[in-house]
Amino acid sequence: TMKRLRDKEKGCPWDKEQTRESLAKYAVEEAYEVMEAVMKKDDENFKEELGDLLMQVVFQSEIAEEEGKFNFDDVAKRINQKLIFRHPHVFGSDKANNSNEVLTIWEKAKQKEHQNESIESILDSVPSSLPSMLRAYKMQKKAAKVGFDWENVDGVIEKLKEEIEEFEQAKSRDEKIEELGDILFTCVNLARKIDIDPEEALFRTNLKFDNRVRFIEKSLKNQGKDIKSATMSEKEELWQKSKNN
């Protein structure tokens, strides 16, 4: 299907114009839509979004094949080889009795893969193009693996309090931006320390906010009112009701 869409004579004008650069952003968007379908436990939508994400892999692989670089089979072969190499406890003689032992084996396998690469920092493998929250999370995990971490969650909470105080004392806009960034970075550290994905936590809160605002809008509409003209007390009352909806 993708070959037909990219056909120089009979293909789709839009599909023929696309490059690996123009398509890159869509892979990110589709990945987030997959995440949303998972969170909403919508299997039909989940199936559709997985297909959309797979289509991006197929699309990029087709362009690479046209350039004489690689094809979809090469992509599948590479990930298959990686999975086998990183699971010697399944495909080899190593043993793993629990998830923690698996992670140790996984990291050792990754180190073997990259042993000939020039590494300047433990953070080299964390792409700068990642969304800021995800990048913060991955950088913190890398630092923690070499012992640069708090001993317990209490230390992170104290740090968060300290950062909030520094934000309150900030005067200029630049200072406030910096201190707010420190607060967010520490919140990510707090989530990591208690083994919670900060992206999932914020996703759930966003979904909760979305549902409650929609409840307020619907309730006001049933009363012949609009959310813009409703008083703050009316909206606050409905907000509290939305918690039980």
pLDDT tens-place values along the chain, 245 residues long:
999 999 999 999 999 999 999 999 999 899 989 988 998 899 999 999 999 999 999 999 999 999 999 999 999 999 999 999 999 999 999 999 999 899 889 888 888 877 767 778 989 889 998 889 999 999 999 999 899 999 999 999 999 999 999 999 999 999 999 999 999 999 999 999 999 999 889 988 999 999 999 999 999 999 999 999 999 999 999 999 999 87
d(CA 208, CA 197): 17
Distances 33 to 2, 48, 194 between C-alpha atoms, Å: 22, 10, 26
- What pLDDT was estimated at residue 114? 74
Q: How far apart are CA 72 and CA 5, in angstroms?
A: 16
Distance between CA atoms of 189 and 140, rounded to whole angstroms?
7
Contacts with 2 (C-beta within 8 Å, 6 or more apart), sequence order: 15, 55, 58, 59, 62
pLDDT at 226 (0 to 100): 93
The pLDDT of residue 183:
98
Radius of gyration of the chain (CA): 24
pLDDT at res. 107? 83
Confidence at residue 112, expressed as pLDDT on a 0 to 100 scale = 83
